[in-house]
Amino acid sequence: WGNNRTHATVSRWLHQSRAHPRLGASPRRLPSCAAAAPAGLRGEVPSFALGGVRPGASDVRVPQLPASLLPDQLLLLLEHLLEQTTLNPRTLQRLERTYHLPEQDAEVRHRWCELVVKHKYKKAYGHVERFLQEDQAMGIYLYGELMVNEDARQQQLARKCFELSKEQMDRSSAEVVAEMLF
């Protein structure tokens, strides 16, 4: 599990997530790694955002994460990470590989795509493209995010996806997206 502090913090966050309003009053069974204790992930995220590296440290190491989380727990984790100003690309890569984010349900993939866009994680732009084409109803917000960042590559991605999928979109959604893009 790697670093004991990270293990304890993630375990506490998982334990607390059972009481989160999104998970309801009778939470689902948590993975066994979550059996430990109180307090949340909030104190750990800054070092997690740095990829588990102290500034100036020569030993670059990304903390180990629990091998599986319930979709609601993944949503909470991704929402929390969206609050962070910066995330290390290795952290994003580790999240993607550990939780198989491109294969999760639409809500989790949407949050994943938001992280990809916010942190300009180019290696996963294909996931954003796939999401915009396959989950058009949820993709409108992502089009806005791609345009507001004023990143030429992201704007090009948004326009490309719109051109490929505008014929399948309902009329009002297509009009809204077209206004954002042009």
Cβ-based neighbours of 81, under 8 Å, separated by 6 or more: 45, 48, 49, 87, 95, 115
In the chain, what's the furthest Cα-to-Cα distance? 54
pTM of the model: 0.67
Predicted confidence (pLDDT) per residue in 154-167, tens digit: 999 999 999 999 99
- Has residue 39 got a pLDDT over 70? no
In this predicted structure, what is the pLDDT of residue 150? Answer: 85
Q: Which two structure tokens, joined as six digits, stand for 136?
A: 């058009």
CA atoms within 13 A on the CB side of 152: 0
Give the CA distances from residue 120 to residues 87, 135, 143, 150, 162, in Å, rounded to whole numbers and listed in that order.
10, 21, 14, 11, 19
Q: What is the pLDDT of residues 116-153, one digit of tens each?
A: 999 999 999 999 999 999 988 888 999 999 999 889 99
Round to whole Å and give the CA distance between 40 and 120. 27
How confident is the model over 78-111, as pLDDT tens digits?
A: 999 999 999 999 999 999 999 999 999 999 999 9
Share of the chain above pLDDT 90, in %: 54
